[in-house]
Structure 1
């Protein structure tokens, strides 16, 4: 029996590791779905009994104590969480929706959305974007705080003329209007280079605000066109659009000579150019 490592061992090991990671992720998602569904069912029972029997606050308090005593190894049966379960079941009366949406994100994400978003359609939007982008709870809270649902797809662009369909539709749906860079902590008086340096120092926050699919290529990126030298403020590649995205920083409101559309109506602003 040979003790030599076969030549294809490393590749096989890498595939096996990837398979295990995928299985662990699926198992984690399955557990989360079951937990969220359990909480929804408890919340639905509470709603029904409150409606039929006139349950008051004291019954919820007693229920929390009894469940914690019986399931001491489980967290989640506090009075506060039981009230969240009731609110969750009230927000999503249909079990099918829980399977399709609420069960796809962590319970605490659901609590944030229930707390901070009151409109059903908007709640659905944030759940879908959380699933799509993999938002952490803190990022979700930031997106809600800055009303991301009102900003996405609202910008005026020339994408219908510059890009073929459906790429033009996807580009428009990806962009926000306006973008919010409060995390920079700089004033409107800052010049373009200061803004650029601040964005690069907070690149992670910048990418989160830009949205899903943006890959950073470089700053002050040099191009030579017909013997002339140009420098791009910020260059990105978008993995879903399959094209480069050029950002030109200006510390003024948008003017037509900036070529592309502005994402903000007040300084500082970004001018976009999408190129293949």
Structure 2
């Protein structure tokens, strides 16, 4: 059942097709369902970003506290992928991205706050996360942090993503230009 030009498509042809009230209700249900799917995806993204923020803080603190070197990220990657084989977020490369992301923004947290950005407390983290980070998908975040040398540049691109609802490909093109 596919929408073509907003005209509802029906599985079976019967008397309901002629009922304008049914057609309107069906159209409304489809829109509501799509909005629910979008809201669910945004909620999942937000919660994963909060987890990544606390994980980044944990990695930094544990390496400092126990004087663990870079090998701890390799070990953590192996252990977490073993426990959660269906999850893609625990590759060695992604754990480095998480640490770098946390370090980049947390080192400038006061500046971010003074720039008019709200901070949000995250469970299992001492450092609050800038709320704007929770509005941008993870892969966008990795592009921004890897390409921006300053917090001002990063905030600029974060705002662009939010304002223009940019895809990652669009973001990459804009950052490269």
TM-score range, shorter chain: 0.7 to 0.9
In structure 2, the residue matched to 1:141 is: 172
In structure 2, the residue matched to 1:11 is: 24
Matched, 1:113 2:144: yes
In structure 1, the residue matched to 2:75 is: 62
Aligned pairs for 1:75-224 within 5 A: 75-93=88-106, 96=120, 98=129, 100-146=131-177
Distance of 1:117 and 1:23 partners within structure 2: 34
One of 15, 20, 28 as aligned partner of 2:33 = 20
1:162-208, CA deviations, whole angstroms, 9 ceiling, x for partnerless residues?
A: xxxxxxxxxxxxxxxxxxxxxxxxxxxxxxxxxxxxxxxxxxxxxxx
Task: Could you tell me which runs of 5 or more consecutive residues in structure 1 were left unpaired when the two chains were aligned.
Answer: 147-276
SS at match of 2:88: coil
Q: Is the 8 A contact 1:91 1:114 kept in 2?
A: yes
SS at match of 1:74: coil
Question: Looking at both structures, which has the greater relative contact order when contacts are Cα pairs under 8 Å and sequence separation is at least 6?
Answer: 2
Q: Which moved more, 1:95-104 or 1:27-36?
A: 95-104
Number of equivalenced pairs: 144
Q: Which has the higher strand share?
A: 1
CA RMSD of aligned residues (A): 1.7
Q: Which moved more, 1:45-54 or 1:93-102?
A: 93-102
Distance of 1:107 and 1:118 partners within structure 2: 18
Larger Rg over CA atoms: 1
Aligned pairs for 1:235-250 within 5 A: none
Distance of 2:83 and 2:129 partners within structure 1: 26
Pairwise CA distance, 1:7: 2.8
TM-score, length-scaled by structure 1: 0.50
In structure 2, the residue matched to 1:177 is: none
SS at match of 1:73: coil
